[in-house]
Structure 1
Amino acid sequence: MLNALVRLLAPVMLFWLGSAVAGVSISSTRIWPAQDYTRLTLESKQAIRHNMFTISNPDRLVVDLEDVDINETLNQLAGKIATDDPYIKSLRIGRFKPGIVRLVFDLKAEIKPQLFDLKPVGEYEYRLVLDVYPAHPLDPMMALLESATSAPQPAGPVAGETRIDTAQSAPGITVPDNVPEMRARTLIIAIDAGHGGEDPGAHGRRGTHEKDVTLSIARKVKALVDETPNMRGVLIRDGDYFIPLVGRVSKARKANADLFVSIHADAFIKPNARGSSVFALSEHGATSTAARWLAKKENEADLIGGVNLDIKDPYLARTLLDLSQTATINDSMKLAKYVLGELSNINDLHRGHVEQAGFAVLKSPDIPSILVETAFISNPDEEIRLNDSAYQDKLARAVLGGIKRYFSQNPALSKPKLAQTD
């Protein structure tokens, strides 16, 4: 009788013992190197308990993972470290002691790491995210000045006066001849490629990711802006990596930007939705149900991309003290109308007027800011056009045309560099 009972319970006991000793299995690993920071992601079906510390001479970062299996997926992570990664030289993975897997990162420079958990969202399971920031980040304004001095300067007006050339705006738009003159000053245009890294944005039926299209268009806009006398473009994102929405606003303000243009590609459940749209911030609710839905979708990008909620941006906290944005929103509406007018020459408009909603990425108190939905990536025809370099050029020229028209009617005033403290 006893032997029969043992035979009956043996499979259950073996299963229970196996479950008790089995560790968390890593299902996916990703690494996103960038000049701003390098992000490393471990994905699993369960949350991972962890610990982190740094060692100097030489600089190393140690991450201990509790009750994690060393499987092939985890072992392959070391091979994903690129030789040109700005901060990580190499990675070693091994069993430190029973129950602890240790990751040792050999570093190229002193860093300020952040390690945090993300709960399942969208298509992602639990994520353990390591962000490797430089200990001494490059000041955006200094980077801009360095690029301005190293890049060849386009021919422009004589020193002392600045005139924005509007002759190259898109066909069908008449620009006044009496363009106001301004004191010589380089106008800074912040160009934000939507989404990036862990956050792919919308996707088309052919597999096109919004984050790739927006970056390509943003780079083209920057190139055109840089060719324009007395203008300089700043890319908020210049690679496939994630930047939180509030971080995008902060980067634009640190660069002392005069305008902020966020580039996106729209999507809808019905593939026949089509056309371009331009949005500005609203203080009093969305102008339509569709605008409210789009703002909600775009604002959820931080959940997908992965934001460390324990870290606050002290710079942005200092600069958002003035919550009165009425004047900035009015200027944003003017800019949006000009850009929408230029887009109407190359594509259908989804709506013939500028819409407003509570987009988090547009909430700068002193920089006119717009969000451009270039086309519907969910529309098969528009997805093809969004992947076409020549059409991307047209979109970039339309955005620049709108910017030029804005400055032709709204001369930029003197804008001292914002005070920054440590």
Structure 2
Amino acid sequence: MCSLAFASSKVSGVRVWSGPDNTRIVLDLSAAVEFSHFNLSQPNRLVLDLKNSQMATKLSEVELSGNLVKKLRPSTPKAKQDYRLVVELNQAVNPTIFSLKPTGNYGHRLVIDLPDKAGKEQTQKQQQQISKVKKQQQLAGNRDIIIAIDAGHGGEDPGAIGRRKTYEKNVTLAIAKRVQRLINQELGLKAVLIRQGDYFVNLNKRSQIARKNKADFLVSIHADGFTSSQPKGASVWVVSTRRAKSEVGRHLEEHEAESDLLGGVGEVMGSVENDAHLNFALIDMQMDYSMNTAYEVASKVLGELGRVTSLHKKRPEHASLAVLRSPDIPSILVEAGFITNLNEEKLLNSGNHQERIAQAVVKGIKTHYRNKPLAGTLYAQTYGVRKHTVQKGESLSVLAARYNTSVAGLKKANKLSSNTLRIGQVLTIPNS
């Protein structure tokens, strides 16, 4: 009987990332390590034993994130050659611990995922309150159109890295928060951020978060990277059922697969909510709507981006990316520029340029939904086709004043050659 042999390993780095409902601790290792763990209570602690290992970084200098982890400290291991790490906690946890092989710029890692029960309960309460408000709005027929904004990468996954060491994950979050602010300034639109800080969200879970928030549309913000510094310009991507044709598209798909590995989740976290029990015919219809809507919005966003920055392609491009594949939520992915291009890296670091990119994205989305407002929304009341049945004593000037439009607009919308109206006549009221 043989057993796996593990080389001596050094822990060269420790990082802590905090999300809304979990905290992640990542140990950078010089080699794969055999490990075991157990929990202690009163006070709550997680004890992790690393076989044949030593700590090569100062735990006191590790920046803690969130409220779950109180302290990281060493303790006396059972065997002299081992290392024991104690994680002091503010609540009892059931951790998920797994190792990751080297990928990208990362070597061996050990990942400790700690579910934050208090944070999850707070998130659920917020979701319940949001659902309650939305139901009230739906009954009144004036609900907001919900736009989910996904800042690409995050946490362990930096995304593309520029020559000036600009991380894509930081640029995308900065632009996403600007998009959120601009959308929330628009009456009838409401923004939801998929991630609000520097932590990784599983690629498939991003659409699920949008779905839980009843999102009508999802826009994912990225900053392109490539193997050379020549490519430049913004682009907008929509879903494809086939592999991307362009070299940049294939690089994007490969980069997404690497991101999943860097984030360190995938199958390890177990299955999530399964929406597969939907009627296939319904999915087909929904997918057609989602793809058509996504392409229309992508075209409008691309047009607006062309006014504020150079474009890599003048038409929406297609790729098979996880964040675009939701059949029930139209989704686009915006590449704000190439972070691997020195000039565009400088621009993407500029707050003014980030604001212009955000404005272009929001304007494209607003234009689409003003032209095609969703039923039951405030946008439909404001921008949708309105009808009026003429009553006794009403004239074009009276109706123009009532609906905040003009007599000329009413005549044009209804193809009227005179100002004369008849009782019972149905008029189309143009948008003001």
TM-score (norm 2): 0.77
Greater CA drift, 324-333 or 111-120: 324-333
Q: Which moved more, 1:57-66 or 1:41-50?
A: 57-66
Distance 1:33 1:213 in 2: 19
1:348 and 1:265 mapped to 2: Cα distance? 13
The reply to whether residue 56 of structure 1 matches residue 38 of structure 2 is no
Structure 2 distance, partners of 1:116, 1:62, is 15
**Equivalent residue for 1:101, pick from 83, 96, 99:** 83
Over 3 Å counting, the alpha-carbon distance change for 1:345 and 1:63 in structure 2 is same
| C-alpha displacement of 1:319 | 7.2
Counterpart CA distance in 2 for 1:145 and 1:341 is 38
> Which of 1 and 2 has higher RCO (CA within 8 Å, sep 6+)?
1
Structure 1 distance, partners of 2:45, 2:326, is: 37
Contact persistence 1:282–1:329 (CA under 8 A): no
Aligned with 1:118 (options 100, 104, 108):
100
Give the conservation status (yes or no) of the 8 Å contact 1:292–1:358.
Answer: no
Q: Which amino acid aligns with 2:16?
A: I
Task: Kindly state the Cα deviation for residue 113 of structure 1 after the two structures are TM-superposed.
Answer: 1.9
Counterparts of 1:261 and 1:297 in 2: how far apart (Å)? Answer: 18
Give 1:142 deviation, angstroms. 4.5
- Structure 1 residue aligned with 2:147, among 164, 189, 200? 189
Distance 1:147 1:126, change over 3 A: same
CA distance in 1, matches of 2:208, 2:225: 27
- Separation (CA, whole Å) in 2 of partners of 1:145 and 1:290: 41
Q: 1:35 to 1:79 in 2, by over 3 A?
A: farther
| 8 Å Cα contact 2:162-2:340 kept in structure 1 | yes
The structure that has the greater radius of gyration is 2
Aligned equivalent of 1:338, options 278, 281, 300: 300
Please say if 1:356 is aligned against 2:318: yes
**TM-superposed deviation, 1:376:** 1.1
Q: Measure how far apart 1:118 and its partner are.
A: 0.3
Q: 2:397 — aligned with what?
A: none
8 Å Cα contact 2:20/2:123 also seen in 1: no
The 5 Å alignment of 1:17-416 reads 23-69=8-54, 71-73=55-57, 76-82=58-64, 85-98=66-79, 99-135=81-117, 137-138=120-121, 142-143=125-126, 183-316=141-274, 324=284, 325-413=287-375
**Number of equivalent positions:** 365
In the alignment, residue 401 of structure 1 is paired with which amino acid?
K
1:348 is paired with a residue whose SS is coil
Cα drift, residue 56 of structure 1:
3.2
| RMSD (CA atoms) | 2.9
2:103 partner letter: V
**1:219 & 1:319 partners in 2: Cα distance?**
34
SS at match of 1:315: coil
Question: In the aligned structure 1, how far is the partner of 2:219 from the partner of 2:124?
Answer: 18
TM-score, normalised with respect to structure 1: 0.79
Query: Which amino acid counterpart does residue 85 of structure 2 have in structure 1?
Result: L
Stretches of structure 2 lacking an aligned partner (at least 5 in a row) = 378-432
Report the Cα distance in structure 2 between the residues aligned to 1:61 and 1:319, rounded to whole angstroms: 38
Alpha-carbon separation, structure 2, partners of 1:393 and 1:374: 11
| Partner Cα separation in structure 1 for residue 366 and residue 12 of structure 2 | 49
For the residues of structure 1 that align with 2:77 and 2:53, how far apart are their CA atoms? 12
Question: In 2 relative to 1, CA 149–59 (structure 1 residues): closer, same or farther, beyond 3 Å?
Answer: same
Per-residue CA shift, 1:136-164, capped at 9, x if unaligned?
A: 614757436768999xxxxxxxx989xxx
Contact 1:192 1:261 in 2 (8 A): yes
% same residue: 40
Question: 1:314–1:34: structure 2 CA closer, same or farther, 3 Å change rule?
Answer: closer
Q: Residue type of the partner of 2:293?
A: D
